[in-house]
Every structure is written in structure tokens, then in C-alpha cells.
Chain A
């Protein structure tokens, strides 16, 4: 059967038979790089269109429907417009940092893709501390955002960057704790181990109530970390124009925009891996017949379906909840989510020690 695993294995064998192993590694790196960039472009096109269509659906509108079939080429047209626009650098801005910031944000988003398993045995780097790696790299994007805000030499940008930084740093705690709950169940930080541990049921079902609580905390925290409504204070239009990317135009703005959507994809992929088994099909305990029927659906399709389900959930939040105030935002994290996740971590430890999960 044709799967991503056999394709990668065949390419690897062919390269190793035809060129030396060093060159094979270098060529494979290039292929992976091209694939990542291609994935980014595809994600940008699909997710922006999806956002507009979902928002239209929520508000009982039609949404973009002029360019292409039912508006399917709308984002391509928008990208073309952005490419043609002039990339302005404001006077008095720190030119080097101003131009560097979008690339730092993009690089951070790209690096997180390394340990994510897109299908069975289809993963760039199965590092033995995958979950920790993800949380480390996601904290790097804060630096890019702060750089952009400061280098713009604009008060709106600086305030937006500050808010965004404070938000990401504080909500990282809750996100980390909810990830830790799953690590306790698995006993490993490696992504492939976490997925294989969900062979007989996804963690959201296996971990009982603590897993469900940690999933809810995780989804709230990542919505805040990606700076999306109801937590989009960093770019609150009515207060700050556009937040940290007020001064950016043309392709540099497009990079920030793209990084936001790629970050949504990445956090949803992590959520799918941790709580819904990544590429693992829906298995129920030892029901052999049912499990085998589910195995006929390819693993990559499972992964994509789960991730886009979670993305839909996050978009649903955006178009139904009003924006929080800064004090409400920080209260939610430090007064409610953090104590709750600490208690939840203890609960999960008890569940894991007593062996109540099946």
C-alpha cells in the first residue's frame, strides 16, 4: 500500500544507493526544507481562506466568493497583492532589527515542525525530548515579537509587543502543565512514544477527568499563546491599531500573518498528538474488528482531520467570544488556570500511580 512511510524509505534507499551517505543526508535535508516551505505556503493559503469562510459561516454571511470557484483563489490574489506592495521601513526605526524580526518569528514557527509526526513513521526529527523541544522553541517567537515592536519606533507597536510578550510568557505555564499531565501518563517526552502509548485509546478518553481538564486548559492557553481572539489584546484594533506589526507592510507583514496561521496549525497539531493520538486511528481497547476497520483509513488523513477539527474549534472561539481586558486576561491565568493546573497535575499523578487509566 502506498503510504508516506514507504515513499520516504524508497527515496532514502535510492539516494543511499546512488550517492555517498553524506551527500544523501544533505540532499534529504534540502528536500525536507523545501517540503517545510511548501507546507507553509499551503497552510497560509488554506487557513486564511478557512478563517474567512468560518467567520462568514458564524455570522451567516457568504464570505469571499468572487475569485476562483466559490472564492477558493481569494488568498492567492491577496498574496499577489501583498508581494507587489512596497515594503516600507519607517524613519527612526532600527533598520536591522526591523527587517530581521519577521524572519525570527518565521524561523521559530518552522523549527517547531521538526518533532511533529504527520503520519505513521513520517517525522523530521524524533528527538528524545520532543515535547520539551516544542515548548523551548515556542518561547523564541516572543523574542521576534518584542524585536518587531521595539524596532518599529512606534508606541502602539511597543505596547502591542509588551502585551503579547506578557501574554505568551504567562500562558506558557498553563500550557506546560497540561503537557506535563500527558507526559506523566506516558512516562516519556518523545513524540513517537506518546503516540504509541495511545494504541488502545486516545489520552483524552484514557486519562479520565484530569485529561479532559488539561485539554481544556491547553486549548485556552494555546489560544492565548497564538494571540488570537478572545486573547488578541496584542493587536486590539480599537486600542493599538494593529499591535506589534503596525509599521509593517508588504511581504514583511505577510510573513507575520503567515506565522500566526502556521502557529495555529502547530499548536493544534501538538494538541492532536497529545490528546487525540496524532496519526493513531480511533481504537477502542481490544475490539479487534473495530480497530482493524479504523486502520484502513490512512494515518495521514487521521492526523489532518484531527488538526483541522481543532483549528475549527479555535476559529469558533474567535468569532463567538468578545475580547478580554488586560486585567481579566492576567487574572484568568494567574488566579484560575495556574492553581487549577497545579491541582490537576496532582490528580493526574494519582491516576497514573494507582493505574486507573486503562
Chain B
């Protein structure tokens, strides 16, 4: 077995186990930490596909920013066993049924998708995820949505400053 294959199986197992642990762990803080592990495993997959830029952005945005925000909120709320809301049996049952429905839809979609059928991911080669290619693509084919979203982010940043200035 090639070394790429070993890493692939290791990362996949890590991602799946961590994702299951996100759902199973009792403490919400543990769930968030497991979710961070999932993001790291997925970033590892991106690196295997030679998409280093996407891997790093995944870490910056999800593991670095959003999950830290989640951790902040959860730690400040001081959730523990006494304050844990008790859901009744019907709530749990409906949750399971709706989740299962979503799973069936996703599986059927993947099975029907002819575009990805029989295609093998190319590891270590290909340059679609490199910053040069991605930048050119973003600034030629998708320049309008990209600029609009950057204006959105800039306005969010200025909004934070404005809220900070208001006393």
C-alpha cells in the first residue's frame, strides 16, 4: 500500500470517527473540539489533492475563526449536567426520522449523480487548488460575485468598528 493511500485511510477514519463523536459526546464543548478534529482531517484530504490553499483557508475560517467563536459562546454559557435541557422521547424520535430522511435524500442524490460516477480523485497532481489558478479563476469568471462578497465582508468589518465607536 502506497503512503498516500495509508494517509487517505487514516484521515478518512479520523474524519468519520470524529464526526460520530461530535454527535455522541455529552458535553457541547467536547462536540466543538471533535468538530475541529473533523475540519483538520478534511484539510488533510485537501492537501492530498494538492489543494493547499483550500486546505489552509479551511483551517483559517472554520477551525481558526468559527469554531473559536463557538467555543467562546459555549464556555461563557457554562453548560453542565444540571442545566442540560431534557428532551422528551417524541422529540428524539422525530429528530431521528428527519435526520434519516435527509440521509436517504443525500445517498440517492449521490447515486444518481452521473457526473461523479466512476471518477477517481487525482492525488498529488493537478493544480486546480493552487492559489495562482484559483485567483485567476476568481478574478475572471467569478469577478462580480467575488467583489460583491468582498464588499459584504468589508462592510461587516466597518460595522464592527462603528459599533465599537458608539459609546
Residue numbers of A with Cβ under 8 A of B are: 22, 94, 97, 127-129, 132-133, 135-137, 139-140, 142-143, 146-147, 149-150, 158, 161-162, 165-166, 169, 173, 189, 330-331, 334-335, 338-339
Contact = CB atoms under 8 A, between A and B. Distances in A.
A137 B160 CA distance: 25
Interface of B: 3, 27, 29-30, 33, 36, 52-53, 56-57, 59-60, 63-65, 67-68, 71-72, 75-76, 130-131, 157, 160-161, 164-165
Contacts of A135: 60
A162 B164 contact: no
Contacts of A22: 3
- Secondary structure at chain A's binding surface: helix, strand, loop or mixed? helix
Contacts, number: 77
Given A142-B64, A142-B68, 19 more contacts: A22-B3, A97-B30, A97-B33, A128-B130, A132-B60, A133-B56, A136-B56, A139-B65, A143-B68, A146-B75, A150-B71, A150-B75, A161-B75, A162-B75, A169-B68, A330-B164, A335-B161, A335-B164, A335-B165
A139 B43 CA distance: 15
A136 B72 CA distance: 19
Contacts of B72: 146, 162, 165-166
B33 A169 contact: no
A95 to B, nearest CB: 12
B68 A165 contact: yes
Nearest to B60: A136
7 contacts: A94-B27, A129-B131, A136-B56, A139-B68, A146-B75, A161-B75, A162-B72
Given A22-B3, A142-B68, A162-B75, A338 B157 contact: yes
Contacts of B30: 97
B67 to A, nearest CB: 7
B52 A127 contact: yes
Nearest to B43: A136
Given A165-B72, A334-B161, A128 B52 contact: yes
A132 B57 CA distance: 8
Given A135-B60, A139-B68, A335-B161, A189 B131 contact: yes
Nearest to B165: A335
B58 to A, nearest CB: 9
Contacts of B165: 335
Given A128-B130, A136-B59, A334-B160, A147 B65 contact: no
B63 A140 contact: yes
Contacts of B157: 173, 338
Contacts of A146: 68, 71-72, 75
Contact of A331 (B60, B76, B164): B164
A132 B161 contact: no
Contacts of B68: 139, 142-143, 146, 165, 169
| Most interface-central of B3, B27, B63, B165 (chain A CB within 10 A) | B63
A330 to B, nearest CB: 7
A139 B161 CA distance: 22
A158 B56 CA distance: 29
Nearest to B36: A143
B45 to A, nearest CB: 16
Contacts of B52: 127-129, 133
Contacts of B33: 97, 143, 147
B71 A143 contact: yes
Contacts of A161: 75
A259 to B, nearest CB: 17
A276 B57 CA distance: 27
Closest 10 CB pairs of A and B: A139-B64, A334-B164, A136-B59, A136-B60, A136-B56, A150-B75, A146-B71, A132-B56, A142-B68, A129-B53
A202 to B, nearest CB: 25
Nearest to A153: B80
A149 B75 CA distance: 9
Contacts of B59: 136-137, 139-140
A158 B75 CA distance: 8
